[in-house]
Structure 1
């Protein structure tokens, strides 16, 4: 079964001739086997019906792409199928005043829309002069409103006169309310139910919830007479049954609402009970939003709970009733908050005795009718509507169009954009200004099929075994393949199945059948299709959050979530925001991306803001040449420093508290500097110590003196060594000589010695001298 879900196109931003043009055209294909599947895949998708566009073995899905891509691939202009929206005005009466005024134009349109492709049209509105006004006065008759009732009995003709001055056609009606006649709201003593007033002399009517007194009428005297018959009543607790009364006024036809501006004036001096308060009196059945008047009194008052504020707001909007809350000063804040939840409502402050009620109503009417709010009723599934206007402040698309200060006779233009997310059956809905009964009827159909004007006869392109449908072959029974070339039961089917295995894996991933070498994918459990060349994709098994696939904020494509605008995360579970990723006006220090309001850091950076990198080291040596040229004007980058060193900023300092880096420059001097990383990667601010540490020059005198002293010392040492060697040698010879003498055997006379042979004596010698 083919998947019927039509995917919304992305990046639909700016209103154009057909409704919207795109900043970037995209075609997000899902399961595509036919031209119809392609058209349903999104507004950016087109189909090529040229016969020979696909190559042998290619799936028909290649025919589906953006129109530009198809042209680039060789598809002829006449071969591109790309349906657009059709817009037709079924009823287009001109704006007119008079007895049967026409205040919106057109009155009925027909839209034939391609899924995901918005269509914009204009709706004109002009307040007609003399448009009738119906005003129903709903009054709190609890005992505290005694003085106010006396004045209301006189206001009928005055109020009609003032409204007639504005519109020329006004009617007025009256109803009253107190509260449910059960404890703890009302004293249920029989006597107290019949006469709840504390003053025995005061005319008093029995306790009641809501009663309809007078249907809408142009007769001011009748209003005065009917109201004059009303008397005050009473209850126990301060909050009243206001919402019960409002619901009956909105849903009961006995009120007599006409084709008019419908105003409901609620006059009270206290707050209101709401849904859930009925449990105090054991009332468990919720309000059913139906008219339950019996003899003009609300018959289900003690059986049904009070309606919720949401029910009241919805019902008033459905019935085009604009409430005016005429309340005392102490209740102004309460009803102002209530007014914020009810479109086209106003709050006015009553004087102590309600003597200003006519002026209050007239002022509120003027304010309400001069504000035009264009809205739609409950929309069919898969249809969205956005509004813009030519009024100040209405230029941006919103769920409701709004114009202020729209006087009678002034024409305003609203630009209405309708988008259908998927193929649907024929649907219709209404659009109109709140508070007015006139509505534009919008009929919507979808264009999800292709018109290719194909022949119904067998075609040679399909081997005579099938027909051509939008460029592809639709084979006759018993034939398969891209060109119907395979007949069921062929013996070489095993060799074709190899082409159906991704990376020699399972045939068609186990999610399809291999027919003639191409995968025919099965349906998923959810009714969709597996798709892809090997049936590897489906759109039903994506990550879930809060038990919703893609958190309900995206679409599942081939097992991954593609998030709607404004959401991110693997399950589209996070609203896009970078507030918790910002520090010093940067996101994640420009070192990562902010996903789900948390930094996902890159390149080893850590911490909540990607501020630190535990594994990173400061590039001191690599930065030395740049520091040298920036700080001292020397080094290898001296001539192109500003180009080569753009990643560094520097500052010269007299003193460094700490020195991260110590690098030698070209001259052999030590440079000391600190490196502080800036936003992003590989960018630093460098603080450089002004004074470098350079080595001192050589002392020549010391070197020369030292050299001579060294030479002299060496010479002296050499002489001492030589002397020591000679002394040692002599000492050794002397010792040997002494040893030899001790061992000689002669008498001590030298045998070589001979006495002299001649003796001469001096005659002058005398021994006595």
Structure 2
């Protein structure tokens, strides 16, 4: 009876979260009821006969419950598979420790049958049992620098057991030691140095080694003392040690270490140096990666020189798998290094050792209290397409990652709870996964399967009248006999009126079914694409493979591709669903979005034409508002101007104004001449919105004084006469300058002229010359 009530309570809790979500059915290829319910968590199917109209595709039967009822589908005719939660094992929490019977986590087994993408929430409870056993494995660095620390550790057995007995009456302690791989460049491989790697003056020095298991888990204090006192210091060359090698073997060699099944498992690592990790082995030519297996013979790690160091991830996985919580007790100079390591290993703590390790007991006690007071619930490897989230229900909810829930400051015997929400993202076969608190053996096994099949109340008639007695009814639609097709099996293959039927399969007289399907009885039956999905649409015009991609994922992996367009999941937007829905980047100082002059898309303002990003505050290319708002300023402030008759209608909605004697500092100062020739001074501030201003108008405007008509006429005549005289003088001057220029040009040409002395080519000399010999010339 109690389990039934708890089941109903958990089921109601799971549904409460869903009521707050918007129900949307994103339909893709719908040919049956099964296709419908696989399309989305809120898609339901109407099996009511004659629900679809003549010629309407049967995919119209698939929609949200609200939409189908609004379109006339009766509630009892709607098919909608529900989530189911079955508690298989629910043993109550224990109040005190009982060997092999203590229960710290409840329930222990549940079975979920989920509708894809429809989450369900259930509660798990945890209570730490008083006196729960503790297994502590003391793993010590025995390199030479830890010589003084070893001497103190040999004496801490009594104090260590006393501290553990405060926590539990069922404590066990083991001991192990490590140095580093016994190969170069980590250790001197000289034969003498391998046998005695310490200082020559140090007589008590053991041979170099990687990791040695010294003492299996024991409740006996004297046995711990004896074994530890037998240990001596060793040595190596480089500063980092083989800490991770040792921790890996201590984690995976459970039968040799002696870990109990029902216990809190602790590894206390004490060192004053850093650590080698995966990849460092290449320095020594060691290329084989760590296989995370136990390789211990005669209490020595035999693969130390053959196998690389484990990675931090490998070690963290094995510690978590084996419920082991490490405590790093390190010197002050190594605190930062190991705190970084602790961030990568769940349920681990770091404490600072004193110079000689005499505070190690107090350090272990403090670290254990911190570990035990922090409860972290998580899961192991999830099946594909399954999502799990945790909501802690406790007084001190701690910071958690995406796949875990945390409660801090939890006391022994204090009961805390976590709400666990599981979502299957697609249809799948039966799978299982485990939920558990880190460091605790108790687990919750969740068996998960999906409900992707419709269970319709179909009539038994093989030849139903709804299907023209040529087929049977399956979830409200006809499944026709061979040789008949159509919505109601009304068409026999080979009907003569083929032309009319084929015309109805053509969009805008185009290709029949876009070349992607067959026209059957006047309706397109679409082919499948190359990837195996189907074309769809009335004319097979759509497919779900050619949407925009983001980060090489269709619709960014945050939406569905439907007919070449992305339909984004809730909380995402953009052409490729690449953005989270947010207005943070669009918010202004006055808490508006883009100053009301744009829309916020992908957390960025898309401004109206002219306005500039990032938040649409300014518009450099827009007309000067001092000029565009002048007529409104004139009519609002002085009841004049072109808008005088309809001022309230034209201006009051776009300008909030006030008349002032003195300006305050608004954004834009304006001085314009109005329609009466007066200078108007006003300040403008653009408010939220495209055409929304606040104006301060100076009550006084500067208007010119009227002039004397006689003075204006006299002045005009005198001005005209003066201008005429000036023009005549300018013309006279121009003519004079031109004549002077021509005269000077003539004089220059005259000076340059020269008379020729050559004979006249037309003159001929006399052919005969007669001289009088008696002529004397007198």
Using the size of structure 2 for normalisation, the TM-score is 0.83
Secondary structure (helix, strand or coil) at the match of 1:313 reads helix
1:525 aligns with 2:530: yes
1:272 aligns with 2:275: yes
- Distance in 2 between residues matched to 1:660 and 1:500, nearest whole Å: 66
Deviations 1:165-200 (A, max 9, x none): 212111111111111111111111111111111143
Distance of aligned partners of 1:267 and 1:476 in 2 relative to their CA distance in 1, 3 Å threshold: same
Deviations 1:391-441 (A, max 9, x none): 245499952111111111111111000000000110110001111001000
Query: After superposition, where does 1:210-289 map in structure 2 within 5 Å?
Result: 210-253=211-254, 254-258=256-260, 259-289=262-292
What's the CA shift for 1:363?
A: 1.3
1:692 aligns with 2:693: no
- Distance in 2 between residues matched to 1:551 and 1:301, nearest whole Å: 46
Distance of aligned partners of 1:625 and 1:193 in 2 relative to their CA distance in 1, 3 Å threshold: same
What's the CA shift for 1:22?
A: 3.4
Aligned to 1:24: 22
What's the CA shift for 1:160?
A: 2.3
1:559 aligns with 2:557: no
Query: After superposition, where does 1:358-373 map in structure 2 within 5 Å?
Result: 358-373=361-376
Aligned to 1:617: 623
- Distance in 2 between residues matched to 1:394 and 1:474, nearest whole Å: 56
- Distance in 1 between residues matched to 2:645 and 2:211, nearest whole Å: 93
Residue of 463, 480, 491 corresponding to 1:486: 491
Q: What RMSD, in angstroms, separates the aligned Cα atoms of the two structures? A: 3.0
Deviations 1:265-288 (A, max 9, x none): 111111111122111112222211
- Distance in 1 between residues matched to 2:259 and 2:527, nearest whole Å: 58
Query: After superposition, where does 1:295-306 map in structure 2 within 5 Å?
Result: 295-306=298-309
- Distance in 2 between residues matched to 1:179 and 1:578, nearest whole Å: 56
Aligned to 2:406: 402
Secondary structure (helix, strand or coil) at the match of 1:20 reads helix
What's the CA shift for 1:101?
A: 0.7
- Distance in 2 between residues matched to 1:327 and 1:316, nearest whole Å: 19
Query: After superposition, where does 1:16-55 map in structure 2 within 5 Å?
Result: 16-17=14-15, 20-55=18-53
- Distance in 2 between residues matched to 1:452 and 1:420, nearest whole Å: 23
Aligned to 2:423: 419
- Distance in 1 between residues matched to 2:526 and 2:13, nearest whole Å: 38
What's the CA shift for 1:446?
A: 0.4
Aligned to 1:571: 576
Aligned residues: 692
Residue of 432, 455, 459 corresponding to 1:428: 432
Secondary structure (helix, strand or coil) at the match of 1:503 reads coil
Aligned to 1:56: 54
Secondary structure (helix, strand or coil) at the match of 2:566 reads strand
5+ residue gaps in structure 2? 1-11, 718-778
What's the CA shift for 1:356?
A: 1.3
- Distance in 2 between residues matched to 1:672 and 1:658, nearest whole Å: 11
Secondary structure (helix, strand or coil) at the match of 2:159 reads helix
What's the CA shift for 1:535?
A: 2.1
Distance of aligned partners of 1:638 and 1:74 in 2 relative to their CA distance in 1, 3 Å threshold: closer
Deviations 1:228-248 (A, max 9, x none): 211111111111111111111
Deviations 1:492-529 (A, max 9, x none): 23311222222333222222222112222222222222
Deviations 1:57-106 (A, max 9, x none): 11111101110111100000101112221011000111113312111111
- Distance in 2 between residues matched to 1:566 and 1:314, nearest whole Å: 33
Secondary structure (helix, strand or coil) at the match of 2:361 reads helix
User: Is the Cα contact below 8 Å between 2:654 and 2:691 reproduced in 1?
Assistant: no
Distance of aligned partners of 1:401 and 1:614 in 2 relative to their CA distance in 1, 3 Å threshold: same
Range moving further from structure 2, 410-419 or 21-30: 21-30
1:323 aligns with 2:326: yes
Secondary structure (helix, strand or coil) at the match of 2:504 reads helix
User: Is the Cα contact below 8 Å between 2:379 and 2:434 reproduced in 1?
Assistant: yes
Secondary structure (helix, strand or coil) at the match of 1:333 reads helix
User: Is the Cα contact below 8 Å between 1:50 and 1:471 reproduced in 2?
Assistant: yes
User: Is the Cα contact below 8 Å between 1:625 and 1:637 reproduced in 2?
Assistant: no
Secondary structure (helix, strand or coil) at the match of 2:194 reads helix
What's the CA shift for 1:608?
A: 4.5
What's the CA shift for 1:532?
A: 2.2
User: Is the Cα contact below 8 Å between 2:399 and 2:406 reproduced in 1?
Assistant: no
User: Is the Cα contact below 8 Å between 1:375 and 1:431 reproduced in 2?
Assistant: yes
Aligned to 1:379: 382
What's the CA shift for 1:642?
A: 12
